């Protein structure tokens, strides 16, 4: 399975725009299942373990997550399309990357936190101002309650320096477990907000609510100027990635 995921484009929509059509391997197995192993629960195809691009066993820390991974494999039909397997792609990146070097991943989340999407508000029009407040204010209020983190808001794109105490308080909530950390990182990069990602991790907002909060401005612009078909396809792909990250968090024990 190494070659299946090793060279796929990070964004299939961009690949399509440039005429890149990766060859897809035909389905070669009858059934996908899970099996208990030393490090958790491994995904198996016809009794053989699935390996990541780095030749490590595709194993999850919980049975529920392993079963979700196996279901993703089972759902493949005539061919195996990695672009339609967001959970497996995320698991591969966590096992092969995050687990070995968690510090840079946590640092990138903290960097987002310092200039979080939720801090920068529109001055007009009124409808956008109201929509930002409706989606973002509850998460900021939750951060104050959950972490004691009091952040400052600004208008426009001029940088707002945040209090060190607020950054430290929220930063302490960035998970250290590789699976949670990897999922939070994906949520952060997809929404542009570490606070939205942490709110999902702490079960304060759902995947749907996180997506809506992270796309307030884009949704508003599409409503005003119309929808682009390629952009919609790309959004669909990114939403599946977000749901996969949320599923990882929901499937982990504790």
| Phi/psi of residue 49, nearest 5 degrees | -70, 145
Mean pLDDT of the chain: 92
Q: What percent of the chain has pLDDT over 70?
A: 91
Rounded Cα–Cα distance for residues 70 and 9 (Å):
22
Q: What percent of the chain has pLDDT over 90?
A: 85
Which long-range contacts (C-beta less than 8 Å, at least 24 apart) are formed by 15-23? 16/230, 17/230
Q: 14 vs 3, 41, 83, 174, CA distance in Å?
A: 20, 34, 12, 31
Question: Could you tell me how far CA 9 lies from the centroid of its own chain?
Answer: 17
Pick left, alpha or beta for residue 6 (phi over 0 → left; psi -120 to 50 → alpha; otherwise beta): alpha
Reduce the DSSP state of residue 162 to 3 states and report it. coil
Reduce the DSSP state of residue 40 to 3 states and report it. strand
Q: Which domains does the chain have, with CATH numbers?
A: 2-98 (3.30.2180.10), 102-251 (1.10.3580.10)
196-228 tens-digit pLDDT: 999 999 999 999 999 999 999 999 999 998 888
Confidence of residue 12 (pLDDT cuts 50, 70, 90): very low
- 25 has pLDDT over 50: yes
Reduce the DSSP state of residue 191 to 3 states and report it. helix
- 60 has pLDDT over 80: yes
What's the pLDDT score for residue 230?
85
Burial label for 224, CB within 10 Å (0-12, 13-18, 19+), is: exposed
Rounded Cα–Cα distance for residues 13 and 29 (Å):
28
- pTM of this structure: 0.91
Eight-state DSSP code of residue 154: E
Nearest to 162 by CA among 130, 105, 128, 120: 120
Dihedral over alpha carbons 80, 181, 94, 66 (to 10 degrees)? -60
Question: Could you tell me how far CA 240 lies from the centroid of its own chain?
Answer: 9
């Amino acid at each position: 399975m190494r070659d299946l995921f090793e060279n796929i484009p990070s964004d299939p929509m961009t690949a399509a725009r440039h005429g890149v059509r990766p060859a897809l391997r035909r389905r070669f197995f009858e059934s996908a299942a899970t099996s208990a192993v030393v490090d958790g629960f491994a995904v198996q195809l016809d009794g053989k373990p699935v390996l990541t691009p780095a030749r490590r066993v595709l194993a999850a820390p919980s049975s529920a997550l392993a079963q979700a991974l196996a279901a993703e494999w089972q759902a493949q039909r005539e061919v195996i399309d990695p672009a339609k397997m967001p959970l497996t792609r995320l698991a591969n990146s966590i096992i092969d990357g995050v687990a070995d070097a968690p510090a840079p991943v946590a640092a990138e989340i903290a960097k987002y936190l310092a200039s979080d999407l939720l801090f920068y508000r529109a001055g007009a029009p009124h409808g956008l101002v109201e929509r930002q407040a409706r989606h973002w204010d509850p998460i900021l209020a939750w951060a104050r309650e959950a972490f004691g983190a009091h952040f400052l808001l600004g208008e426009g794109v001029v940088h707002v320096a945040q209090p060190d105490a607020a950054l430290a308080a929220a930063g302490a909530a960035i998970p250290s477990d590789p699976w949670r950390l990897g999922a939070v990182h994906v949520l952060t990069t997809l929404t542009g907000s570490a606070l939205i990602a942490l709110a999902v991790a702490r079960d304060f907002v759902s995947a749907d609510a996180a997506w809506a909060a992270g796309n307030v401005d884009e949704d508003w612009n599409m409503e005003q100027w119309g929808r682009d078909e390629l952009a919609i396809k790309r959004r669909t792909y990114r939403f599946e990635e977000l749901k996969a990250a949320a599923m990882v968090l929901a499937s982990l024990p504790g």
